[in-house]
Structure 1
Amino acid sequence: SSGQQRTEEFRKVNVLMTVPALRDGSFTLAESIAILLYLARKFKTPDHWYPSDLQKRARVDEYLSWQHVSIRGKASKLFLTKLLLPILTGQPVPPEKLESVAEELNVVLKQFQEKFLQDKPFIAGSEVSLADLVALVELMQPVGVGHDPFEGRPKLAEWRRRVEEALGTQLFQEAHEGILNISNLTADRIAPELLEHFRHQLLKQ
């Protein structure tokens, strides 16, 4: 939230000036999914994260291609609405607005369970993969602002438990400490240009 990605130094890493971005020697890379896949290949992570099996890998790729405007898009929209709209307007979020963005998330959660999770332990089958990691990270955004997408969805809650166990519960909690304490965020801790960006994004909806 400090706006460090807006500096000229950061522009050398990513001309788009967005996060995340990676510099590996003289090589630079943007976009979170591209970075994850690059790191998985470079460091030869255990096969289950990005399977060598053609069809299992295709399942991971399928989810990663779908999630941008679905799980990621709707979860982040709810997150930003609940977190930033009150900061920008000085008023509580109108109930009908919250209901609308929550319903958008409900729709893609139903699609996620029916299409991608089905009755499998994980998205690609019997083992956890990058697809599960990316999905759960996005679904923790609403949790951070007090909207629990796992409540009332036992299949989804069990999937979350399995992914947490596969990652290690302590590591999972440490990785999400920031998002789970985000409700304490105030306007003075957000870079002005970011506030302006989100003002245009949220108030036009």
Structure 2
Amino acid sequence: MSLKLYCDLMSQPSRCLYILLKSTKCNFEPKFVDLRKAEHYSEEYKKINRFQRVPVIDHNGFVLSESVAILKYLARERIIPDNLYPRESQKQARVEEFLEWQHIELRIPCAMYFRTAYLDPVVFGTKVTPAKISGFEQRMELALENFSTKWLGRGSDFVTGNTITVADLIAICELEQPRMAGYDPREKYPAINEWYQKVRNYFNPYYDEAHVIVNKIIAKQPKVAAKL
């Protein structure tokens, strides 16, 4: 089997797939695409992914983009084990229910807060008002509240029940983004904190491996904030 994963570990779904393939002992080749250097806009990469985004897989010559589509494909190909992406119809439907929900309801609010509070002012030097940051923080907190109560607060250990799945992995990677901007969801939402520890422990050491760059940015956050 030949499987290549084109990714940048600053990208939430890229980290998810990287951790997943590592933890399942899949023999894959990571192909790193540096978004900060705009490598995804190169003509060479455009030939791989016409949308010029990450992640992308190349499985024996079959090229596929979009993280949820990739997860579903890898499950059908039996590259993801049944315990992480169930084959039983109703359990699988629960996982896919979350995958559909999280794109707009969790990823966008967390990503936009990260962009507004960190990426624009720190990386791109864009002037951002405190009011704008506060507005995106409020939207993100509504999403976090919904995640904490409507997914985690239903008497089960994980997002879709008492068994960990890819739903948990994709969610936890999304929640790392606001941490780089100085907002840690674990501090305000006890259910998220408890769940976070379980998921991270399950996927370690590969979880920490995939978050080396992210954790370096998080460690610098107090110094960065002082300069804004």
Taking structure 1 as the reference length, the TM-score comes to: 0.82
| Per-residue CA distance 1:94-135 (angstroms, 9 max, x = gap) | 222221111101111111122222221011211110110000
| Per-residue CA distance 1:70-112 (angstroms, 9 max, x = gap) | 1100110011112222144454x42222211111011111111
State the shift of 1:42 in Å.
2.4
- The 8 Å contact of residues 122 and 128 in structure 1, kept in 2 or not, is answered as yes
Equivalent pairs, count: 183
Aligned equivalent of 2:163: 127
Q: Given the alignment, which residue of 187, 197, 207 partners 1:161? A: 197
Q: Determine the C-alpha separation between the residues in 2 that align with 1:73 and 1:8.
A: 28
Q: Does 1:11 align with 2:28?
A: no
Aligned equivalent of 2:172: 136
Q: Which amino acid aligns with 1:122?
A: F
Q: Which amino acid aligns with 1:123?
A: V
Q: Does 1:114 align with 2:149?
A: yes
Q: Secondary structure at the match of 1:67?
A: helix
- The 8 Å contact of residues 13 and 29 in structure 1, kept in 2 or not, is answered as no
- The 8 Å contact of residues 122 and 159 in structure 1, kept in 2 or not, is answered as yes
- The 8 Å contact of residues 57 and 124 in structure 1, kept in 2 or not, is answered as no
Aligned equivalent of 1:193: none
State the shift of 1:175 in Å.
1.0
Taking structure 2 as the reference length, the TM-score comes to: 0.74
- The 8 Å contact of residues 13 and 22 in structure 1, kept in 2 or not, is answered as no
The percent of aligned pairs where both chains have the same amino acid is 36
Task: Give me the CA root mean square deviation.
Answer: 1.9
Q: Determine the C-alpha separation between the residues in 1 that align with 2:44 and 2:60.
A: 15
State the shift of 1:182 in Å.
3.4
State the shift of 1:149 in Å.
1.0
Give structure 2 stretches of 5+ with no counterpart.
1-35, 222-228
Q: Given the alignment, which residue of 33, 37, 43 partners 1:2? A: 37
| Per-residue CA distance 1:152-193 (angstroms, 9 max, x = gap) | 21111001011112112x3211111122223679xxxxxxxx
Q: Determine the C-alpha separation between the residues in 2 that align with 1:152 and 1:82.
A: 18
- The 8 Å contact of residues 145 and 180 in structure 1, kept in 2 or not, is answered as no
Q: Determine the C-alpha separation between the residues in 1 that align with 2:155 and 2:213.
A: 32
Q: Given the alignment, which residue of 130, 133, 138 partners 1:103? A: 138
